[in-house]
Amino acid sequence: MILNEFYGAIQDFVETGGQVLVVIGVLIFVMWLMILERIFYYLKGHQQAKRAALANWQQRSDKSSWHAEQIRQAMISRVSLALGGNLPVLQALVALCPLLGLMGTVTGMIEVFDVMAVAGTGNARSMASGVSKATIPTMAGMVGALSGVFAATWLQRTAKRERLKLEDRLLLEH
């Protein structure tokens, strides 16, 4: 019963905002799946990779030669690449959200102009429908972009901090 009401509310929202809203919704869903994947990686997978790199470094007898330094840098790079994972794709999705919102604005305004061409400027109700199709996708794109920007910034800072911590730990193990 509650699911039917929820589905009906979403369906009404999509009808009010137009088909671009569906694309924005899918984009935001994929973006947040990627954000959650990164968070879970930082919590679980990165800890394992960090422990493996530290154990690998501690097993080495030579830690001060040029060759050892290159191995240390390679270990840091591998862990750093895994930390970065899909952050560039995530940033692209964040940038795409407002652009799709703008596309929704344009398609909504085209509908307003079509109504004005057919019915004239006296039909305010028909024009209001087009205006809502213009503003709702813009709002949805901005909300998605804002939430994604905050999450992506946090993920980038966390990746950088974890890389620096690993560098420090491997340097202390000399």
Quote the tokens at residue 139.
């709002």
Give me the pLDDT at residue 160, please.
92
Per-position DSSP letters for 116-130, written without gaps between them: HHHH-TT-HHHHHHH
Residue 156 above 90 pLDDT? yes
Average pLDDT of span 12-21: 77
Enter the pTM of the model. 0.79
Taken as a whole, the chain contains a residue count of 174
Cβ–Cβ under 8 Å, residues 92 and 121: no
Average pLDDT of span 43-51: 88
Rounded to whole angstroms, the Cα distance separating 93 from 83 reads 18
Residue 30 above 90 pLDDT? yes
Which residue type is seen at 49? A
Residue 154 above 90 pLDDT? yes
Give me the pLDDT at residue 27, please.
94
